[in-house]
Amino acid sequence: MDKIKELTDRLDMTRIPRHVAIIMDGNGRWARERMRGRSEGHAEGVNSVHNITRHASDLGIKHLTLYAFSTENWNRPPQEVETLMYLIGWAIRKETPELLANNVHIRLLGEIDRLPEQVRKDLEAGRDATAACDGLNLNLCLSYSSRWEITRAVRRIAEDVLDGRLSAGGIDEKTIASRLSTEDLPDPDLLIRTGGEHRVSNFLLWQIAYSELYFTPILWPDFGQEAFLEALVDYQSRERRFGKTSDQVKEENPN
Ligand code: IPE
Ligand code: IPE
Ligand code: MG
């Protein structure tokens, strides 16, 4: 508890990242360390989603984007995929009332049509129930991969050019960004990956061009308030230069 207080004191509430994205990895290893099945690791991971969403909301983070199931995860053993789908549907049904009470707006990113019909309906019910909420934006990435999303954006742009709605010369970065699943969201300020791997696994490749990357060996089911605060404090210790020099940045932000 003391550690949480110390970290909270160190956190500059005026510089909380607007958008935090998380690759929630390590459920399987968490379970294996305990001689339990992978499903139990995933079930435990749902608790972390609950806790981190609450902390993000309390801290005033505006957008939290969670990588819950990747396009590549469809290649896992069918039984594991089935468990994950069941858990996703169950979790959204269970969590929606509290999310609604906390003014959290659920958004769905990815190829949602590929999910089993009932899970898709549960997710859409959660999204629709919270549509008017204007607190934390909780962006759930499901059957998501960045290359899928970029390919779809290119297809959409090609259609617009063919139909005369857009000229090839008029395509700029905004044209592309607005056709990604993230549409109007600002780019992540901070990308966290739990579970010890140092890779991005096809997540938000366009959007993380200038994000701060934070990797922790902590497995997702063990990632709680303290670990989250550590990541935020670390983020605040960094100087985001966006290609400029350190002197320029200091001049622009004298405090
Ligand atoms: C993350 O945990 C959950 C999903 C990818 C759906 P993993 O299941 O990848 O856990 P590890 O990497 O095997 O430990
Ligand atoms: C990334 O985790 C995807 C999610 C967290 C949903 P994986 O466990 O699938 O990543 P790789 O395959 O080890 O890169
Ligand atoms: Mg993994």
For residues 214 and 190, the answer to whether their CB atoms sit within 8 Å is yes
Q: What's the whole-model pTM score?
A: 0.98
Residue 184 has a pLDDT of: 87
pLDDT tens-digit map of 134-177: 999 999 999 999 999 999 999 999 999 999 999 999 999 999 99
pLDDT tens-digit map of 21-80: 999 999 999 999 999 999 999 999 999 999 999 999 999 999 999 999 999 999 999 999
Residue 35, by phi and psi: left (phi above 0), alpha (psi -120 to 50) or beta? Answer: left
Catalytic residue among 9, 12, 73, 134: 73
Catalytic residue among 9, 12, 25, 137: 25
pLDDT tens-digit map of 225-248: 999 999 999 999 999 999 999 999
Query: Is the pLDDT confidence value at 1 over 90?
Result: no
Q: Is the CB of 69 within 6 Å of ligand 1?
A: yes
Q: Is the CB of 28 within 6 Å of ligand 1?
A: yes
Residue 255 has a pLDDT of: 73
Of all protein residues, the one whose alpha carbon is nearest to atom 9 of ligand 2 is: 73
Residue 78 has a pLDDT of: 98
73 is catalytic: yes
51 is catalytic: no
Reported confidence tier of residue 88, pLDDT bands at 50, 70, 90: very high
Kindly report the average pLDDT of the chain as a whole number. 97
Find the mean pLDDT for residues 195-218. Answer: 98
Q: Is the CB of 88 within 6 Å of ligand 1?
A: no
Residue 238 has a pLDDT of: 98
